[in-house]
Amino acid sequence: MSVSAPRTIQGSLPTIPQTTNEARTVFHSLVHGTPGRMRLLGVVAVVAALLLGAVCAQALIGSRAAADRAATNIAQVVRAQSLQVDLLRADALATNAFLVGGLEPSDQRAAYDQAMTTVAKGIAEAAAAQPADGDALAALSVQVQTYATLVEQARSNNRLGLPVGATYLTQASAGLRSDAIPIIDSIVRANEGRATAEFDRADSTALLLVGVVAVIVLIGVAVWLARRTHRYVNAPLAVAIVLLVIGLVVALSTIGTVGATAADVRANQYQDTVQLARVSTAANDARANESLTLIRRGSGSDNEKAWKADATTVEKALAAYSTPLLQEWQRYADGHREIRSLDDHGNWDKAVSLATSTQAQAPGTLFAQFDKDVTAQRDAASQGAVARIDGLGGAAPAYAVGIGLLSLIACWLIIRGIGKRIEEYT
């Protein structure tokens, strides 16, 4: 006697194609004919509205975030450049004070100590502000400590009148330029690259082209619906399109303002900050090389070549930036040439006396005033750049939320508007 399969299984097998057919029938009825096409276009319109809202919100929030990151990176560039300026300023002070012999002037010693304290503080602040620079700043800290140790050894020997002091100081200055300064240069380049990238991201107008396409799709749906139904006014759908266009215009305007402001800061205050930092760096390097040329006596030709290279950097930068600062530099440069003339003609003592003089028109005094004025203008430019970028597009998050809500309202209006036309057909 054979055993038949359970009736429940036998009965269930034929129901599978029946269920599938029913599903196909339901789907076909939903998309068939004009009402079906209306439903499909309604789905397309809702997706377009949601896409527009999402893209606008993303672009607004991304633009604001990019502006904030640009401000952070600009501030780090300024910190790194300040480290370089302060280190070379300290070296200029140390080498010039060394020329005096014995116990150096107390004001120069205090200025050197202040510069080195500023460097130590600046390294700590830079490490806290930008963790990505942590390893480089740690290596820089080691090089700065090595430099400071060699300078102290040079001073100790100089006070005792021992010639080896000049060797220590020359070694300190050379190590500063070969080991410490390249680290700072790499930090500056890295943060300049980050700042430039964020400036570009701040203008995310291109992303909003997706929103423009979404509006075009919605208008296309409205036109098709009007022609098909011969009802040219669909109030809910029209209001939805108007709301979405308003949201898109607000997003375009806000992001356009952020992008334009970022581009202006990049071309003006930020560029001024970078240029003036280079001027200050080259100028202090030149001042240190002036003293090193005298310290090394007859073997300082390389230092004089370095001075001339620095002078060229300063003059080219200032020729396109500031005539008053260029004139200040040229007055100091005239004094430098007088120092070199005295030394080259065998009047080393007079050359040292002029190089270390604190008289009103002495080269050192003229240089100190020039350095002070360049620093003041650099600080003003950097503060202006950070102030304009920091908080740029502050209302963007609120606009993003508002546009997101508008897109949801628009979706409801689209469903309502197209739903009315479907009801008329059915």
**pLDDT tens digits for 303-345?**
999 999 999 999 999 998 888 999 999 999 999 999 999 999 9
**Which pLDDT value is given to residue 11?**
36
Q: State whether residue 73 is helix, strand or coil.
A: helix
d(Cα 412, Cα 228) in Å, to the nearest integer? Answer: 22
**What is the average pLDDT score of the chain?**
87
d(Cα 332, Cα 312) in Å, to the nearest integer? Answer: 14
> Exposed, middle or buried, 43 (CB in 10 Å: 0-12/13-18/19+)?
middle
Residue 79 sits at the vertex; the CA angle it makes with 76 and 84, to the nearest 5 degrees, is 130
Q: What is the DSSP string of 260-276?
A: HHHHHHHHTHHHHHHHH
d(Cα 49, Cα 38) in Å, to the nearest integer? Answer: 16
- Report the C-alpha dihedral over residues 376, 380, 383, 385, rounded to 10 degrees: -130
Of 273, 358, 239, 213, the closest CA to residue 77 belongs to: 273
pLDDT at 10 over 70: no
Percent of the chain clearing pLDDT 70 (strictly above): 91
Q: In the structure, what pLDDT confidence band is assigned to residue 26 with cuts at 50, 70 and 90?
A: very low
Domain range annotation of the chain: 36-425
Mean pLDDT of 52-56: 92
HSE-up of residue 291 (Cα within 13 Å, Cβ side) = 29
Lowest mean pLDDT among 20-34, 79-93, 155-169, 179-193: 20-34
